[in-house]
Structure 1
Amino acid sequence: MDKLYPILTQMKTSLDELEAIMIEEVNQLNRTQINPVSLQVLADNKNQLLSTIQYYDDMRRQQEQQSATQAPYSGHGKLFSSWQQVNEKVRSSKALNQQVESLLQSHMKKNQHIQKAIEHVGRASALYGPAGESSQVSTGRKYNISI
């Protein structure tokens, strides 16, 4: 039982770090232009923290089995309040994650729209010749330069 409190404290600390990373991720995704390198660094840090949180959660469950207790630790004041703090951080991280997902989908839609526009620009309109055949008119000049 005495090992549960430090584990919950470590979980909360890791969740605090995760929340800070996710806030920065939201800030970057709110910009009109994304810096992919910076976003990748944040994603890597986030994955590392999620692995750390999973490790502490596994340790917590193991300690619960050994001490025959379960969350939310109603009879233990210090553990109960620590568990509530962990749960609050999980809820706020979930809300930030939903915001990140929404922003990513918005950027993806914008990129798809731009991609379609670029594809349409690349197509020249067909013109008909005197015999009724269609031909593509090139929109540029070709220079043959020999030196």
Structure 2
Amino acid sequence: MDKLYPILSQMKTSLGELEGVMIEEFNHLSRPQINPVSLQILTDNKSQLLSTIRYYDELRRKEEAEMHISAPYRQQVKLFSCWQQLSEKVESTRKLNLRVEELLNMHMKTNTQIKQIVTTVGGNNSLYGSTGESHVAPVGGSYRISV
């Protein structure tokens, strides 16, 4: 128990930090426009925190195996209380993750629709000459420049 409680406390702290990053990510995705650089930074922070949580979870499992106990630790009041708080934090983070996923999917769908509109509109450009004849204007031509 001497080692297990600090491990659970570290997991709880890391989950709290993860929840903070996810709230920031949710607020960022709630805006009409997304800054991809700041979103990438949030994603990197989230990934690092998840790795940290995974590490502490592995330590927890090893310690449980050595002590021959397992969560939710009903016989140890201090561990049980910490495990309950940890479980609640995991559940709230899971729900927040679902909301973030919905917003991200919404942005991806909007971007796909905008891309289709731009492609459709860009392909039908036509110009009229001085005599009234029409011809299709080149769209997005490539330039071959050699130095």
Structure 2 length normalisation: TM-score?
A: 0.85
- Cα displacement string for residues 16-54 of structure 1 (whole angstroms, at most 9, x for unaligned residues): 000000000000000000011111111001000000000
Contact 2:125 2:137 in 1 (8 A): no
AA partner of residue 119 (structure 2): E
Contact 1:15 1:89 in 2 (8 A): yes
The separation in 2 between residues aligned to 1:72 and 1:15, in whole angstroms, is 17
Equivalence for 1:64: 64
- Cα displacement string for residues 47-98 of structure 1 (whole angstroms, at most 9, x for unaligned residues): 0000000000000000000001000000110000000111111111111111
The separation in 2 between residues aligned to 1:24 and 1:137, in whole angstroms, is 47
The separation in 1 between residues aligned to 2:136 and 2:73, in whole angstroms, is 76
Runs of 4+ in 1 over 4 A off after TM superposition: none
The separation in 1 between residues aligned to 2:51 and 2:136, in whole angstroms, is 57
Contact 2:64 2:70 in 1 (8 A): yes
Equivalence for 2:75: 75
Equivalence for 1:137: 136
- Over the aligned positions, Cα root-mean-square deviation in angstroms equals 1.7
Choose 1 or 2 for highest CA Rg.
1
TM-superposed CA distance for 1:125, in Å, is 6.9
Equivalence for 1:10: 10
TM-superposed CA distance for 1:123, in Å, is 1.9
SS in 2 for 1:11: helix
The separation in 2 between residues aligned to 1:138 and 1:104, in whole angstroms, is 36
The separation in 2 between residues aligned to 1:119 and 1:92, in whole angstroms, is 41
The separation in 2 between residues aligned to 1:83 and 1:105, in whole angstroms, is 33
Equivalence for 1:116: 116
The separation in 1 between residues aligned to 2:71 and 2:31, in whole angstroms, is 40
AA partner of residue 104 (structure 1): L
Structure 1 length normalisation: TM-score?
A: 0.85
